[in-house]
Structure 1
Amino acid sequence: MKKLLRNLSFWVFAAMILGILVGYLMGPSAHVLAPLGTLFMQLIQMLVVPLVFISIVSGAATLGGSRSAGRIGVTSIGYILVTTLISTVLAILIGSWLAPGSGLDASSIDLLASQNTTDMSTPPSLTFWGTIIGMIPANPVRALTEGNILQIIVFGLFLGFGISTLAAGKKEPVIRGVNYLLEALIWCINKVMLVAPLGVFGLMADATGTFGFDILLSVANLLWVDIIVVLAMGLGIYPLTIALFSRTPVTHFFRSMAEPQIVAFSTSSSMATLPVNMETVEKKLGVSKQVTSFVIPLGATINMTGNAIYYTLVALFFAQLYGIDLNLGHYIAISITASLGAVGQAGVPGPTLMVVAVLASAGIPLSGLPLLFALDRIFDMIRTVLNITGDAACAVVTDYLCGKSRRDAAPQTPARE
């Protein structure tokens, strides 16, 4: 019992449940508790940008002088791209089979949508070269101050690899200094996580009180199909890759991921979950520090399979709702655009804005989108869990394939905390 009471994940989970109950009982007035969540999220956001930058510099500086650097990058990015594409194909197959938008009254969706005034007039640019150019920071300082994570990662990689080319006597003190900064940032994150239960309570109470449960019924079909596809990816594809391309038992993987998944579900943020995910992957799953510091921050930025699934299903949902017949060309356009949108998500504020581009790629009306803007928080909790699970799976597989695993056999039971 004492061990349970000392477990942060227990208190986070308890705070999440309590927040849901309080939000349901208080209704819209639960918004008064929102500052608790805002305070927690801003404390996390205060540290996330320097944590990502320093982690990438540390990983690139350490890996840059080794032969495995290119292999780790190619393996992790290849894994992310392939699994993201697989997730959209799964969403198309299951979404077409279960047809969440069929049989619904489009006029009722339009009526609910008319009550929301969210601006959707400016869809994000998703051209290939636009995405590539957008990753290169014209001003690294501006990228850091604005929190443009993709640009920060690119700059961090360049700087880290630049450090790795220095002579041993010059680069070793620099790498040690960077690692000291990383340790200091992790200490700060650990202290901030002590108030996580309070922040999660405020976030969940506000979300439940604001949205309630009634509005969910109008898009319940889309929600449960989204859950099915997420489960198919999270309990099917990812475990399969772990079983085939690593020595980590799948059961051990999911036991270890319980705390990061709870944090991801309650905060709806891959970046807020980044510190606990890094610690879990390295200490509980046995992934080398070099791979962890490189893959997890990168994955938290571009590995968005949950988002890709959501974008694809929303396109199918509205096509079915409005009776639009999609052909193979439409499906290919949706799959490619959803995959590209998910990978480029970090450069676009507001995840649901990416849906505009996916719908536009298949010529699907946008009139029902405001409703999804209102409910985005609910979907975001689900897809974030899959996103961070995919980050960990990518790290485990990359670590094994690149020969950097510290283990020659199955992982042992972690020591008690």
Structure 2
Amino acid sequence: MKVLENKGLLNNIGVQVVIAMVVGTLVGAMMGPTASIFAPLGSIFIHLIKMLVIPLVAVAIISGAAGLGNSSAAGKVGLLTLGFFGFTSAVAVALALFMGEVFQPGIGVDLSGVEGMFSNAYADKGDLPTFWATVLGMIPTNVFQSLNEANILQILVFCLFFGIAVSKLEKDRRDPLINGVNAIVDAMVWMINVVMKIAPLGVFGLMADAVGTFGFSALMVVFKLFVVYVVAILVYGFIFYPLMIKVFSKTSPLKFLSVMKKPQAVALSTASSMATLPVTMEVCEEELKVKNSTASFVLPLGATINMSGNAIYYGLVAIFFAQIFNVDLSMSAYMAIIITSTLGAVGQAGVPGPSFLVVAVLLSAGIPIEGLPLLFALDRIFDMIRTALNITGDAACAVIINDHIDVETKQENA
């Protein structure tokens, strides 16, 4: 992937975004609700990113599928990627349940001042689709409508299919098409790099508005949950994933953590795996030496279905409300939480916004849901943190699979 030749700004984006987050938080805390005057700065940034992300995802998946489709490793890469995402999501839920039981974030919470926020309005949002409904929902009947509606899973399925089809053409017809698609990818990345120049302004607006609107008082009600949640995210991001990198790849875990600071900062600011995708791809290819064909396949797929951070959130929220409402969870309830959280995490699109799939997780274990509005007000903060973990998992998967395929290729050629 080609990026801007002058990468000084992009290399410093992490520092700039962190500064913007701190300043935005302070301004929001001081100005209160009037800090919403800065909200348009964040909205402009997010709209510009969304304008470019869907076309980039489409052409990147086509490029990756076309690059892999003509090799013997194509099917193996797909299976390994899906297996990695499913396994890490399940482990993430298990970690969340363990930490929830150890630290008990829902014990001793004072609800006297917030009971007016309780609501059952979300009870009808807890239905998970059946298996066949999920499969049918992934297949577009009109791909242009899917693009227009930003239906990520349908776009993913069509572009994978199309990319593999391109790889099956004769070489003299295939190569010009692949070169053209790669040129579009480079052009889209250039555009997003230009948009990233205003990222600090956008982050400042988003943070000032979020903190000014909700303040820290709402956070205090769920403060213990928030602390446990952050600790779980840190354990998973700085211990579990680096350990997997150490065991299953040739890449240094310290180097991996060092170069991931830039996409993690962007993920924190945008709360969107999709919006962070160009930066994640650049870091994986340029810094971690992941092949373009692997990165273009694994990373867009991961930004769509790999949501370990969401899985941790679902598990901890389930424990939190079970403890608040004195619900004793059986082993079958724990299994229901793990299964529903894993399926929900995989089905959660990589875009920012309240996650109503947590409703399905609570209902699956018989946990009351009326306290959910306490969390939805702060969903942006939770979303920012879990997105940083999600994209870390995407990159870890790309590195591990890239090294695994390299080893197999060398063995075949030996």
TM-score, normalising length: structure 2: 0.93
> Which of residues 213, 216, 224 in structure 2 aligns to 1:210?
213
Matched, 1:137 2:140: yes
Query: 2: CA distance between counterparts of 1:110 and 1:201?
Result: 32
* More displaced 10-residue stretch of structure 1: 234-243 or 334-343: 234-243
Matched, 1:261 2:261: no
Specify the code of the residue in structure 1 equivalent to 2:335. Answer: I
User: What's the counterpart of residue 68 of structure 1?
Assistant: 73
Query: 1: CA distance between counterparts of 2:315 and 2:264?
Result: 23
Query: 2: CA distance between counterparts of 1:151 and 1:375?
Result: 30
* More displaced 10-residue stretch of structure 1: 6-15 or 383-392: 6-15
* More displaced 10-residue stretch of structure 1: 264-273 or 387-396: 264-273
Query: 2: CA distance between counterparts of 1:244 and 1:139?
Result: 43
Matched, 1:42 2:47: yes
User: What's the counterpart of residue 397 of structure 2?
Assistant: 394
Query: 1: CA distance between counterparts of 2:69 and 2:258?
Result: 33
For residue 109 of structure 1, report the CA deviation from its aligned partner. 4.5
Structure 1 residues 252 and 351: CA distance shift in structure 2, 3 A: same
Q: How does 1:164-183 map to 2 (within 5 A)?
A: 164-183=167-186
The SS at the match of 1:121 is helix
Q: Deviations over 1:184-229 (max 9, x none)?
A: 1111111111111111111111111111111101011111111121
For residue 106 of structure 1, report the CA deviation from its aligned partner. 4.9
The SS at the match of 1:366 is coil
User: What's the counterpart of residue 149 of structure 1?
Assistant: 152
Matched, 1:299 2:302: yes
Query: 2: CA distance between counterparts of 1:371 and 1:274?
Result: 30
User: What's the counterpart of residue 410 of structure 1?
Assistant: none
Q: Deviations over 1:57-76 (max 9, x none)?
A: 00101110111111111111
For residue 120 of structure 1, report the CA deviation from its aligned partner. 5.0
Query: 1: CA distance between counterparts of 2:182 and 2:33?
Result: 45
The SS at the match of 2:61 is helix
Structure 1 residues 348 and 203: CA distance shift in structure 2, 3 A: closer
Contact 2:125 2:357 (C-alpha < 8 Å) held by counterparts: no
User: What's the counterpart of residue 4 of structure 2?
Assistant: none
Question: Which runs of no fewer than 5 residues in structure 2 stay unpaired?
Answer: 1-7
Contact 1:4 1:10 (C-alpha < 8 Å) held by counterparts: no
Specify the code of the residue in structure 2 equivalent to 1:37. Answer: G
The SS at the match of 2:124 is coil
Structure 1 residues 342 and 73: CA distance shift in structure 2, 3 A: same
User: What's the counterpart of residue 52 of structure 1?
Assistant: 57
Structure 1 residues 255 and 229: CA distance shift in structure 2, 3 A: same
Structure 1 residues 138 and 107: CA distance shift in structure 2, 3 A: farther
Specify the code of the residue in structure 1 equivalent to 2:105. Answer: P
Contact 1:287 1:405 (C-alpha < 8 Å) held by counterparts: no
For residue 382 of structure 1, report the CA deviation from its aligned partner. 1.2
> Which of residues 93, 96, 100 in structure 2 aligns to 1:88?
93
> Which of residues 97, 103, 119 in structure 2 aligns to 1:98?
103
Query: 2: CA distance between counterparts of 1:5 and 1:56?
Result: 24
Specify the code of the residue in structure 1 equivalent to 2:89. Answer: T
Contact 1:124 1:357 (C-alpha < 8 Å) held by counterparts: yes
Specify the code of the residue in structure 1 equivalent to 2:102. Answer: W
Contact 1:399 1:405 (C-alpha < 8 Å) held by counterparts: no
The SS at the match of 1:379 is helix
The SS at the match of 1:403 is helix
Structure 1 residues 183 and 124: CA distance shift in structure 2, 3 A: farther
Query: 2: CA distance between counterparts of 1:168 and 1:107?
Result: 70
Structure 1 residues 107 and 57: CA distance shift in structure 2, 3 A: same
User: What's the counterpart of residue 29 of structure 2?
Assistant: 24
Q: Deviations over 1:47-66 (max 9, x none)?
A: 00000000000010111011
Contact 2:242 2:257 (C-alpha < 8 Å) held by counterparts: no
Contact 2:274 2:350 (C-alpha < 8 Å) held by counterparts: no
Across the two proteins, how many residue pairs are aligned to each other?
Answer: 403
For residue 104 of structure 1, report the CA deviation from its aligned partner. 2.3
User: What's the counterpart of residue 414 of structure 1?
Assistant: none
User: What's the counterpart of residue 283 of structure 1?
Assistant: 286
The SS at the match of 1:352 is coil
Query: 2: CA distance between counterparts of 1:230 and 1:329?
Result: 25
Specify the code of the residue in structure 2 equivalent to 1:230. Answer: I
User: What's the counterpart of residue 340 of structure 1?
Assistant: 343
Contact 2:9 2:197 (C-alpha < 8 Å) held by counterparts: no
Q: Deviations over 1:301-346 (max 9, x none)?
A: 1110000110111111111110010010000000000000000011
Query: 2: CA distance between counterparts of 1:347 and 1:184?
Result: 22
Specify the code of the residue in structure 2 equivalent to 1:218. Answer: V
User: What's the counterpart of residue 357 of structure 1?
Assistant: 360
Query: 2: CA distance between counterparts of 1:326 and 1:111?
Result: 26
For residue 129 of structure 1, report the CA deviation from its aligned partner. 2.5
User: What's the counterpart of residue 123 of structure 1?
Assistant: 126
Query: 2: CA distance between counterparts of 1:5 and 1:172?
Result: 31
Query: 2: CA distance between counterparts of 1:72 and 1:151?
Result: 20
Query: 2: CA distance between counterparts of 1:342 and 1:376?
Result: 15
For residue 103 of structure 1, report the CA deviation from its aligned partner. 2.1
Contact 2:274 2:351 (C-alpha < 8 Å) held by counterparts: no
Contact 1:246 1:397 (C-alpha < 8 Å) held by counterparts: yes
The SS at the match of 1:137 is coil
Contact 2:273 2:351 (C-alpha < 8 Å) held by counterparts: no
